Structure 1
Amino acid sequence: MAPQIHLLVAIHGMWGNPDHLAALVREISTIAATDEFELNVLVAETNRSEHTYDGIDHGGERIVVEIDERIKSLEETGAQKVTRISVAGYSLGGLLSRYVIGILHSRKFFEKVKPINFNTFASPHIGLPRYPSLLSSIVSAVGSRLLSRTGEQFYGTDRWSGGKPLLEIMSETNSVFYEALNLFPQLTIYANAVHDTTVPYITAAIDTVDPFVDHEKRGLTVKYNSAYKPLIESYATGQPEEAHPRQRKPLFPPALQDLGFPLNVILIIALPLFLPLIIIIVLIRFSLDSRASRKRIKLLEADKHRASGWLSTMLQDINQEVGDVVADIAGAPDDPDDPEAGTSLCRRIPKDQKAHPILSKSQMRMVANLNTLPNLKRQRAFIHPELNTHGVIICREEKRFESHKVGLGVVRHWRDNFQL
């Protein structure tokens, strides 16, 4: 008798492609089949590159179609049956994962297929927070527009249902998304403790206070997990300077280090001359991709046959009038420029931690709700020194950058704790 199928769905991040998950797939594929279960890995294909602009909801719907097709393909001969499912998402893929399992739960999928492992890596669970700086304010304002529907959802400026942003709806304890998360007995999120300039610790770890802010100045000491470095076993602050020697940060980012001298020096010198041109090109590309995304979204939402069975349509149709009334009474979602938005959080931040992000009231509610998940566990990766650890945590570019191999300890911890 053939073993039952345990389907693992792996989902990449913003602007990503399946190749970004190569290390995850390689490591998890070393898990040997048993007499009872066999692992089958589905790496989501339909949200490549610019299609990640189309929103967490529309992207999640595409992935559910892929899951349906894979299960149909596996079971069409009648020799095998999918009886277990796990989900792993990197960056934006973590939010897509949460939406996907919400759709599956709404369809009673988990009554027939048992949920086992749910994991995210450097995912912005409460959106992208704003920092007390002019640059951060500009990026928040521009990002919500240049990244189309996904940008609006990242920064909580959307009204997805009942006048609330999607990420807040997904965190509410009576939502199908929360209920679906609660069904997974193995629920672990991996977050970069430091140097993740894309998805900061506070949103990846679903926390309200970042204990790693200004870690070098505060004399933070870290004890690594001996088997899975760079994961943290424990940490402490306020230790003597000699207990945590200052590590020298790399002079060049990985790409320039790999070029070698003198080419990397030449490029550094030339960068100020080309930087304005690079910024203009990037902004134009973002604008074009966002415009194309909005056209795709209009076509999707105009397709009545497609729209009839999706949560994004059902909930929005049901709550459209209610949402307008709620918005008129309570106001729009939290304004990131509202000086009161982060008041409750700011009272808890030590005065010496100036680099701490400002959380909106909506984000504070998300943290409070998600932290009631009984099976939720956190693993923190301390990758230092590094200019940006966002891709390192999953060895995203290990073939191009030697430094990305540092993340193997994280990937292998996930593999070794994966329940087949």
Structure 2
Amino acid sequence: MSKPVVLEDVTGGSAKATHLCVLVHGLWGNPSHMRNVAKALRDEYSEDELYILPAEKNRGNFTYDGIELGGERVCAEIEDKLRSIEEQGGKITKLSIAGYSLGGLVSRYAVGLLYAKGILDDLECMNFTTFASPHLGVRTPLKGWHNTVWNVLGARTLSMSGRQLFTIDKFRDTNRPLLAVLADPDSIFMSGLKKFKRRTLYTNIANDRSVVHYTSAITKHDPYTDLEKVNLNYLKGYEGVILDPDHPIALRPKLQQDTILTDYEALKKWVKGIPFMVTVGVLIPIGVVVFLANSAVQTVRSANRIKAHESGEAGLKIEQYRMPLRIKEIREEVEQAYEVLNSSQNQQYLAASDSEDDLAYDAEDRKLLKKERRMSTPGQPTLALTPDQFDMIENLDAAGWRKFPVHIQKHRHSHAAIVVRMDKESFADGWVVLKHFAGNEFLM
């Protein structure tokens, strides 16, 4: 395996660079998580061509503070860097942003602020890219008491970020979840997002226990819940990893599905999974306890940081980032515990007819659910999403996205592998994704 990349060696740029690319990490993350994204870009573009800025001010436990605060911090960081480059004799004329996991949502918020402040008026907005980002939140599609217990409990383990990711918050005076406001077609956030020439997303189709496919792909369907039932069509030149976005799958004939695994093959597959099952059975209960205890501590600390941020004691002039919204270490164990908790719930689909769950919504939302039920088919069933999530899908899709399904096969932790978060040989599939992003998708 090659020598690990040092973040400082592949970021920054010279005074000649006119294109700034900002990299935003995810929940519990830090800038080094994006170092291989930076390396992939640097391998393609020199310091004289591209200035790479890894966002620094929202690292670690600060990501508990919510998408709003994270977006304000990233916006301020971009403004500071633009000023700094100009003071050193440079001039940035183009902007790109790439967000990983929660960083994709933080980036969307920051873009709205940049738009409202008029900063994007002086820049050519090139690429907006997300890797495994929960655009629709992290709420598991569930019905009945499972929904109440699981999604409400999960929302309360991550401070403000948790409430926003599970869409149980009320953002400012809108009386709506922040994610719904982020996708409002009349918001500063969508207006800013639409300024980019290219919007691209990479979405894991399997083994992402943090951000499942439907939310990172902005879709109400998940054809990858049982890979035994489909044939995967790969993108030419990226076989085995990136699917053809226009024709990603073909259903297998039923006879082929029924005979796909012999008894021996099924047994062999089960035996290979024993080490993982033992790990889950022994280590995860410990991790869950650590996760919940850490969540309680970090929620209190986060509340104190939010209070300081709102009062201006954190060093940011908050009034500059509050504008009208509508215009037209332990971390690995903690993260693993959260992922296993999240993946323990199987996705459910909309009922064929009205259900008692609908009573929680108003007449307009019930009408939307009825419409989605009519569009659901046995071959492509609709997930049990909320009315807000269905609206998000429609509004975000209207902006236009290039969507690339990714099949990480060499490691179970596809959420980390998609950006090669750690230097492991088993994360090799992630390098295929990053090379596609830097070499094929990234507009200069």
Shorter-chain TM range is: 0.7 to 0.9
Q: Which amino acid aligns with 1:281?
A: V
1:148 and 2:162 matched: no
The within-5 A match list for 1:202-217 is: 202-216=214-228
Q: Which amino acid aligns with 2:31?
A: P
2:302 matched to which residue of 1?
293
The within-5 A match list for 1:157-168 is: 157-160=168-171, 161-168=173-180
Q: Describe the superposition over 1:274-297 as per-residue Cα deviations: whole angstroms up to 9, x where unpaired.
A: 654432222101111111101111
2:126 matched to which residue of 1?
116
Q: Which amino acid aligns with 2:408?
A: I
Q: Describe the superposition over 1:155-193 as per-residue Cα deviations: whole angstroms up to 9, x where unpaired.
A: 111111421111111111111111111111111111112
How many residue pairs are counted as aligned between the two chains? 382
1:76 matched to which residue of 2?
87
> In structure 1, what is the Cα distance between the partners aligned to 2:286 and 2:358?
30
Q: Which amino acid aligns with 1:280?
A: V
1:369 and 2:395 matched: yes
1:38 matched to which residue of 2?
49
| C-alpha deviation, 1:315, in angstroms | 4.2
TM-score (norm 1): 0.81
Q: Which amino acid aligns with 1:278?
A: G
Question: 3-state DSSP class of the match of 1:29?
Answer: helix
> In structure 2, what is the Cα distance between the partners aligned to 1:82 and 1:243?
58
Q: Which amino acid aligns with 1:378?
A: K
> In structure 2, what is the Cα distance between the partners aligned to 1:22 and 1:124?
21
> In structure 2, what is the Cα distance between the partners aligned to 1:408 and 1:214?
25
Cα distance 1:303–1:350, how it changes in 2: closer, same or farther (>3 A)? same
2:256 matched to which residue of 1?
241
> In structure 1, what is the Cα distance between the partners aligned to 2:136 and 2:384?
12
Q: Describe the superposition over 1:100-140 as per-residue Cα deviations: whole angstroms up to 9, x where unpaired.
A: 11100001111111111110011011111323377665331
| C-alpha deviation, 1:418, in angstroms | 1.0
Q: Does the 8 Å CA contact 1:250/1:386 hold for their aligned counterparts?
A: no
Question: 3-state DSSP class of the match of 1:120?
Answer: strand
Cα distance 1:297–1:359, how it changes in 2: closer, same or farther (>3 A)? same
Question: 3-state DSSP class of the match of 2:437?
Answer: helix
The within-5 A match list for 1:401-420 is: 401-416=424-439, 417-420=441-444
1:393 matched to which residue of 2?
418
Q: Does the 8 Å CA contact 2:139/2:167 hold for their aligned counterparts?
A: no
Q: Which amino acid aligns with 1:96?
A: V
| C-alpha deviation, 1:244, in angstroms | 10
| C-alpha deviation, 1:349, in angstroms | 4.2
Cα distance 1:249–1:104, how it changes in 2: closer, same or farther (>3 A)? farther
1:97 matched to which residue of 2?
107
2:5 matched to which residue of 1?
none
Q: Which amino acid aligns with 1:377?
A: R
| C-alpha deviation, 1:215, in angstroms | 2.6
> In structure 2, what is the Cα distance between the partners aligned to 1:88 and 1:177?
16
Cα distance 1:277–1:63, how it changes in 2: closer, same or farther (>3 A)? same
> In structure 1, what is the Cα distance between the partners aligned to 2:149 and 2:168?
15
Cα distance 1:388–1:338, how it changes in 2: closer, same or farther (>3 A)? farther
Cα distance 1:76–1:336, how it changes in 2: closer, same or farther (>3 A)? farther
1:14 and 2:27 matched: yes
Question: 3-state DSSP class of the match of 1:207?
Answer: coil
Question: 3-state DSSP class of the match of 2:185?
Answer: coil
1:360 matched to which residue of 2?
386
Cα distance 1:395–1:137, how it changes in 2: closer, same or farther (>3 A)? farther
Which residue of the other structure, out of 16, 27, 42, is the alignment partner of 1:29?
A: 42
> In structure 2, what is the Cα distance between the partners aligned to 1:26 and 1:187?
21
Q: Which amino acid aligns with 1:97?
A: S
> In structure 1, what is the Cα distance between the partners aligned to 2:42 and 2:133?
23
Q: Describe the superposition over 1:72-124 as per-residue Cα deviations: whole angstroms up to 9, x where unpaired.
A: 221113x3101111000000000011011110000111111111111001101
1:308 matched to which residue of 2?
319
| C-alpha deviation, 1:245, in angstroms | 5.5
Structure 1 stretches of 5 or more lacking a match?
254-263, 317-334
2:404 matched to which residue of 1?
379
> In structure 2, what is the Cα distance between the partners aligned to 1:95 and 1:29?
24
Q: Does the 8 Å CA contact 2:30/2:60 hold for their aligned counterparts?
A: yes
The within-5 A match list for 1:118-197 is: 118-132=128-142, 137-160=148-171, 161-197=173-209
Cα distance 1:137–1:45, how it changes in 2: closer, same or farther (>3 A)? same
Q: Which amino acid aligns with 2:75?
A: V
Q: Does the 8 Å CA contact 2:55/2:74 hold for their aligned counterparts?
A: yes
> In structure 1, what is the Cα distance between the partners aligned to 2:270 and 2:55?
34
Question: 3-state DSSP class of the match of 2:103?
Answer: helix
1:3 matched to which residue of 2?
16
Cα distance 1:65–1:241, how it changes in 2: closer, same or farther (>3 A)? same
